[in-house]
Structure 1
Amino acid sequence: MKEIHIGLIGAGWMGKAHTTAFHNAKMIFGDDMPVFEMVSDVNEEQVKNFAQKMGYKRYTTNWMDIITDPMIDLVDIATPNCMHFEMAKAALEHGKHIFCEKPLSLSAEQSRILADMAKEKNVVNYCGFSNIMNPANQYVKELIQSGKLGKIMRVHATYDQDMLLDPEIPIAWRHINKFAGSGALGDLCSHLLSVFQMILGDIDEVIGVDSIVIPERPIKAGLKELQKVENDDIITFLIKYKNGIIGDISSSRVATGRKNYFYYEIQGTEGTVVYNLERMCEVQVYFKADADRDNGRDCGFRTVLLNPEHEGFKYFQPAGGIAIAFDDMKTLQAHTLMQALHGKDYICNFEMGAKVDGIINAVLKSIKSRRWEKC
């Protein structure tokens, strides 16, 4: 066991989640000791308070202080999307290991640069797609790879929230393309795309359509002056996989009544699996063989409760049916990252980040061209 000195850029909610996850990974898995060396944020009062509360030795308002500090082994980037490329590139140039929240960057071109640099530098390069570490998604991957669902034919999926349904919510960086890259597509759909990259492989081509439901928002709460919303409130696109699977993926950030509706259905010739993140510890599975045995009299979807037999679950709960949550996925993420520092394989690298951003780029291109575009 050794010490891993961490420099965090971004003293917000996600920075707190990352810090807590590293601490929990040490306590649960016996991973290397995280040393919270330095944290950076543009708001001096906020970063000072964050450092004191979360146990960081030092704080700064200049993120380059973290990049250039010889004490720091791992640069943890938990900032808005538009800052990821510059910060990750600088960290790579200084030979640092990197944990970067998704998306990797705002464009497929930038993400490809980072993925290629990471290979050249041979450092740990982890992109923070949280749902990859969800034991339910790992179970679905194993189920499909086992062949129990037969040949996979189709995927149907959506990720819906209503967090931006209120038109009085002021304009924010998520609404502006130069800061966010896209709307619901990059913010929410990217989570589905990362899981399907792991489970189903590479997408070949896409065609999409989008909608801006609330075209203008107040520049500040309570003010009448409005600013234009530049990106999608709703996105829908068709997909064709290189292995022949077809499907549709949607997302909405104005979906009335939906809070965290990360839902997908994957259909195979021998069975179908359904998952909804709002019921995080339940997976619905239908096996055609059940119907074949009794002529369909008692057939139907069965509910599989996550339990210690499923990858990752056993570290948090001793028996099935006991809930785990978002923070547990982040802890599994931190553990995987710590293991990667010792040479263990991991899937959420910058290459995956570049592939997801390549799909997003193809969807945006198809919306403009109104035709199928290659990923």
Structure 2
Amino acid sequence: MDNVTDRTIGIGMLGYGFMGRAHSSTLRQVRHMTWPPPLIPELVSIAGRTEDAVTAAAEEFGFAEHVTDWRALVADARIGLFDNTGPNSVHVEPSIAAAEAGKHIVCEKPLGLTADDSYEAWQRVRAAGVKHMCAFNYRFVPAVRLARELVAAGELGEIVHFRAAYLQDWLVDPSVANLWRLDKSVAGSGALGDLGALGTIEASRSCPGRRNSLRFEINGTGGSVAFNMERLNELEWSEGTGGFRMILVTDRDHPFMQNWWPPGHILGWEHTFVHELHHSLGAIRDDRDVAPHGATFEDGLPRRGGVRRDRRSADGQGRVLVSYRD
């Protein structure tokens, strides 16, 4: 393919909002994580609906060209990776079309507005034989990866309990009333659909004082780990006695840190996207799956069926059995 060489890969991006800005920053930073990166991104073209806005985004983000129809990205032979950062309502169709045109896919969560849409995206993208990643970037927080390693190594013993809360406060502000995330036809299932649910969870965007509080705690027969996204360089670890101790996850032997700064120098939220993209580029270059550390489209699927049933329960239908799909 002329869109992927042994050194470079052409990038086409759909969307220029919050996630478009984050992904674009990542495309420029990934070469600073390792040199050379698995593949060097070439920012070919960005797509958005509004001419003035996408023109400005192309200039700001560093894309050589811009278009107002995502189908132009799909048809562009220079593009090897289709990066879908658009609103939830345009995740499925463009991602499927790009995959069936032979382009590898990174798609923001959720995959689709419904379980059926998400299932179709997974099936058709998988059948296309390209690499596909659902952008669960918090898997690439060093402290979260360290927690996973501790669990996998048996340091916590048998896992007996899990709880998590993702609380934000931006919906308290009445000025955001017309945001697309509040339009069910565009956003789908709201906070639960975007953020997901496992174990005992809370998810809300209307908690004054909670700016971006993503917290989880995993308890086992031999210990516990706890994490708070607002202190993303720290992991609390208990070996079962004497309470918790804090680990500053910046040492060279901690996940990802060998590629960054000396111990004690912290990373930020944007670095999770750099780690994620680096991982995706490596999977493309080496022809390997993005799993288990990266989320495939299949990983992005099961949560949708649960979200549908959670909504039915919330609508007054009482307790509802959760299964993979309808």
Q: What's the TM-score once normalised by structure 2's chain length?
A: 0.90
Q: Which aligned pairs between 1:116-265 and structure 2 lie closer than 5 A?
A: 116-187=123-194, 189-190=195-196, 193=197, 247-265=199-217
Deviations 1:129-171 (A, max 9, x none): 1101111111111111111111101111100000111234322
Equivalent residues of 2:132, 2:290 under 8 A apart: no
Letter in 1 for 2:7: K
1:315 is aligned to 2:259: yes
Cα RMSD (Å): 1.6
Distance in 1, Cα, partners of 2:79 & 2:178: 36
Per the TM alignment, residue 43 of structure 1 is displaced from its structure 2 partner at its CA by: 1.3
Q: What SS class does the counterpart of residue 301 from structure 2 fall into?
A: helix
Distance in 1, Cα, partners of 2:178 & 2:62: 33
Gaps of 5+ in 1: 194-238, 240-246, 292-298
Deviations 1:100-140 (A, max 9, x none): 11111111111111111122111011111110111111111
Equivalent residues of 1:365, 1:373 under 8 A apart: no
1:282 equivalent in structure 2: 234
2:319 equivalent in structure 1: 371
Per the TM alignment, residue 183 of structure 1 is displaced from its structure 2 partner at its CA by: 1.8
Deviations 1:176-222 (A, max 9, x none): 211111222123x33xx4xxxxxxxxxxxxxxxxxxxxxxxxxxxxx
Equivalent residues of 1:6, 1:75 under 8 A apart: yes
Equivalent residues of 2:45, 2:67 under 8 A apart: yes
Q: What SS class does the counterpart of residue 143 from structure 1 fall into?
A: helix
2:24 equivalent in structure 1: 19
Q: What SS class does the counterpart of residue 164 from structure 1 fall into?
A: helix
Deviations 1:308-350 (A, max 9, x none): 221112222220x322111110100110110011223323111
1:327 is aligned to 2:279: no
Per the TM alignment, residue 33 of structure 1 is displaced from its structure 2 partner at its CA by: 1.7
Distance in 2, Cα, partners of 1:13 & 1:119: 27
1:60 equivalent in structure 2: 67
Equivalent residues of 1:164, 1:253 under 8 A apart: yes
1:269 equivalent in structure 2: 221
Distance in 2, Cα, partners of 1:344 & 1:285: 33
Structure showing the higher strand proportion among its residues: 1
Return the match for 1:107 from 103, 109, 114.
114
User: Identity of paired residues, percent?
Assistant: 32
Distance in 2, Cα, partners of 1:169 & 1:12: 15
Q: What SS class does the counterpart of residue 75 from structure 1 fall into?
A: strand
Distance in 2, Cα, partners of 1:255 & 1:9: 31
Gaps of 5+ in 2: 1-5
Per the TM alignment, residue 300 of structure 1 is displaced from its structure 2 partner at its CA by: 1.6
